[in-house]
């Protein structure tokens, strides 16, 4: 395993780089131990210089493993944990240590994204704890489904939660993601109860999530939480389409165009009408 770490770079050119089977040779017993202890994780990559995954300039760790199957996912190669590089906690911590001074100067920090980071909740907690010990701001980008895996004490290691709220209606949410949204909304309420800062992320997909009623429900819910610092409206794009093709997955959004400027403005206005800051 250590040999693999020498030959495969953790740093990717960008999060859209296709990476597969990088951990396929890891014994199943090692995977189970890693998930239980958090002493090893499976990462698609680290990317640097992000300005859209939390405040300031960020280093982003992209985990592998996700039970959701979002129709618009731009990183389907992160669905399977075996696609990721097996990385010890010590190695991931040392990678972060290289950037700690620059991150502080640029008012940035470390964001753990995916995939779904809480599929590897023990690794996520230990990596956040290590980052905090170095004075690095921490952010978790999550769909929230496994939020109940984190204790109240562990939530304290996360300075900011970037929470994806994809759809309001449960049936439509299952059509879009394959999963129920009740645990997501429960996690949002729990974060509000504990006054943990949240940025809501909403992917705007024409014909799927752009209708006024859906947006109104999510906007009203977000505003009512009291801890949402901002909403990021993320227009749908086709930058991940090539991955679906390469992985021979059935991509059903081939003909969907990015939302128009007018649609984006209308949706942003709906969030703003509830008193939310929108970007």
CB of 184 within 8 A of CB of 170? no
- Name the H helices within 136-235: 152-155, 170-177, 182-193, 212-225
Residue 1 is predicted with a pLDDT of 39
Q: Where are the domains of the chain?
A: 2-272
Whole-model pTM? 0.94
Gap between the Cα atoms of 14 and 124, Å rounded: 21
Contact 161, 197 (CB under 8 A): yes
> Does the pLDDT value for residue 93 go beyond 80?
yes
Return the number of other C-beta atoms located less than 10 Å from residue 225's C-beta: 16
The residues, ordered by sequence, that sit 6+ positions from 162 with a Cβ below 8 Å of its Cβ are 53, 54, 111, 113, 139, 140, 141, 142, 198, 199, 201, 232
Q: How far is Cα 148 from Cα 183, in angstroms, rounded to an integer?
A: 8
The confidence score (pLDDT) of residue 215 equals 98
CATH architecture entry for 2-272: Alpha-Beta Barrel (3.20)
Q: What is the mean pLDDT of residues 260-278?
A: 98
Quickly state the pLDDT bin for 264 (edges 50, 70, 90). Answer: very high
When comparing pLDDT for 17 and 133, which is higher?
133
pLDDT at residue 14, rounded to an integer: 74
Residue-wise pLDDT for 156-212, tens only, equals 999 999 999 999 999 999 999 999 999 999 999 999 999 999 999 999 999 999 999
How many other C-beta atoms can be found within 10 angstroms of the C-beta atom of residue 193?
12
């Amino acid at each position: 395993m250590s040999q693999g770490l020498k030959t495969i770079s953790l740093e990717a050119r960008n999060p859209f780089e296709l990476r597969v089977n990088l951990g396929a040779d890891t014994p199943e017993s090692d995977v189970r131990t890693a998930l239980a202890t958090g002493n090893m994780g499976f990462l698609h990559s680290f990317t640097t210089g992000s300005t859209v995954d939390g405040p300031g300039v960020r280093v982003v760790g992209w985990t592998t493993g996700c039970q959701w199957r979002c129709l618009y996912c731009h990183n389907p190669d992160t669905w399977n944990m075996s696609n990721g590089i097996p990385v010890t906690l010590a190695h991931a911590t040392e990678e972060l240590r290289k950037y700690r001074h620059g991150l502080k100067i640029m008012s940035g920090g470390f964001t753990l994204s995916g995939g779904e980071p809480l599929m590897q909740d023990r690794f996520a907690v230990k990596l956040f704890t290590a980052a905090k010990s170095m004075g690095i701001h921490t952010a978790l980008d999550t769909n929230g489904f496994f939020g109940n895996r984190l204790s109240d004490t562990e939530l304290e290691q996360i300075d900011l939660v970037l929470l994806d709220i994809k759809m309001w209606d449960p049936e439509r949410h299952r059509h879009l993601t394959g999963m129920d949204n009740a645990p997501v909304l429960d996690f949002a309420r729990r974060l509000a109860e504990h006054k943990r800062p949240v940025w809501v992320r909403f992917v705007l997909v024409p014909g799927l999530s752009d209708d006024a009623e859906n947006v109104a429900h999510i906007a009203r819910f977000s505003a009512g939480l009291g801890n949402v610092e901002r909403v990021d409206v993320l227009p749908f794009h086709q930058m991940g389409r090539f991955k679906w093709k390469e992985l021979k997955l059935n991509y059903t959004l081939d003909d969907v165009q990015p939302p128009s400027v007018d649609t984006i403005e209308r949706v942003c206005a709906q969030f703003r009408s509830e008193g939310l800051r929108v970007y």
